[in-house]
């Protein structure tokens, strides 16, 4: 155990936070740095505030401080130093009263203009994608002595998936799956449901077979065109997105304050929630700046194809009478 508690400056606290992020245990850091474990836990609990202050600091003198200061004060001090240097170059005399008045002016201005900030864990992006789940590749390999292979009809069975993840990549919410039929043949006799207009939902949490629906890998919903409509999106937002994100942020010891970034599709209504701010992307920019479109959805589809082919190969190798379609 460490024998004496000592003060740590911001630079040392950042090093400790980086060591914790790298996977080192609190006990290991405590012994190596001769610091009480309680001190390290306090630093970890205040990680968000500490990193904000360090990000706002521009010089080493700020990092040598021992206390976490208001970020607005740090920015005001930086602006004040620039103002003093500018007056010195212009040979304009200033006294203590001018400096105090200017500092107060800078602080009020910065505090009023300070935007609402979000941690990477609190910023989420949601986007839909069509998945032709039966579609096979359009090309294949053939033996050298063969000229061609038999053609086939392209499968057009489609579902829509709504994927949602946060900016830190630490949380991927359970996907929303929208099918044309609520009771697919594979689920025939397995689920009890009811139909309301064009959108269909599960009416209970337990399947008739005794399977807990909350343990399904997706939130299963249905629409005649397999689209995410405004009513389906609102149901997903209120009953799935909000509870899952609230629980996730609680586990991270963060405030339930969320920024949800989505495109301006017709199926995305403007929903008001006291803890969630919804930001719509500008029209015709989805492929350029939508986070999930920057390779995340494409990677998901590659993994889907990989696992699908692995399943087909395993089934065919197990049963010689099995073909690709039946597998």
pLDDT score for 206: 42
* Domain architecture of the chain: domains with CATH: 1-69 (1.10.10.10), 79-114 (no CATH), 120-139+154-294 (no CATH)
List of residues 6+ apart from 141 with CB closer than 8 A = none
Q: Do strands 219-223 and 176-179 pair parallel, antiparallel, or not at all (unpaired)?
A: parallel
Determine if the pTM surpasses 0.75.
no
Q: What angle do CA 246, 221, 200 make, to 5 degrees?
A: 120
pLDDT value at residue 159: 85
| Distance between CA atoms of residues 294 and 151, nearest Å | 34
Q: What string of DSSP letters covers 111-142? A: HHHPPPP--GGGEEEEEEEEE-TTPPPS----
Q: Is 260 within 8 Å of 278 (Cβ atoms)?
A: yes
What are the average pLDDT values for consecutive 10-residue runs of the chain, which has 327 residues? 63 86 88 86 83 63 54 79 86 88 85 74 91 73 62 72 90 90 60 41 42 72 87 93 94 90 87 90 76 85 85 81 65
pLDDT, residue 148, reads 63
């Amino acid at each position: 155990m460490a024998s004496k508690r000592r003060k740590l400056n911001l630079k040392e606290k950042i090093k400790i936070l980086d060591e914790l992020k790298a996977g080192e245990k609190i006990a290991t850091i405590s012994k190596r740095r001769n610091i009480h474990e309680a001190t390290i836990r306090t630093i970890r609990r205040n990680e968000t505030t500490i990193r904000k202050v360090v990000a706002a600091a521009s010089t080493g003198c700020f990092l040598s401080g021992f206390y976490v200061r208001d970020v607005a004060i740090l920015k005001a001090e930086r602006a004040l130093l620039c103002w003093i240097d500018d007056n010195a170059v212009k040979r304009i005399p200033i006294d203590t009263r001018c400096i105090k008045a200017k500092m107060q002016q800078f602080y009020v201005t910065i505090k009023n203009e300070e935007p609402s900030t979000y941690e990477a864990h609190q910023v989420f992006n949601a986007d839909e994608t069509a998945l032709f789940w039966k579609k096979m590749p359009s090309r294949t390999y053939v033996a050298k002595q063969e000229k061609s292979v038999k053609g086939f009809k392209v499968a057009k069975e489609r579902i829509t998936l709504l994927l949602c993840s946060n900016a830190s990549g630490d949380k991927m919410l359970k996907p929303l799956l929208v099918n044309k039929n609520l009771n697919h043949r594979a689920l025939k006799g397995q689920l009890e449901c009811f139909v309301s207009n064009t959108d269909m939902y599960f009416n209970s949490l337990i399947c008739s077979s005794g399977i807990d629906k909350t343990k399904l890998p997706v939130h299963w919903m249905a629409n005649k065109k397999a689209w995410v409509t405004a009513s389906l999106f609102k149901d997903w937002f209120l009953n799935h997105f909000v509870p899952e994100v609230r629980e996730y942020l609680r586990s991270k010891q963060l405030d339930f304050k969320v920024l949800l970034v989505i495109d301006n599709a017709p199926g995305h209504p403007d929903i008001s929630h006291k803890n969630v701010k919804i930001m719509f992307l500008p029209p015709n920019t989805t492929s350029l700046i939508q986070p999930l479109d920057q390779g995340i959805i494409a990677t998901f589809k590659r993994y889907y194809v990989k696992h699908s082919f692995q399943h087909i190969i395993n089934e065919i190798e197990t049963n010689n009478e099995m073909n690709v379609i039946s597998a």
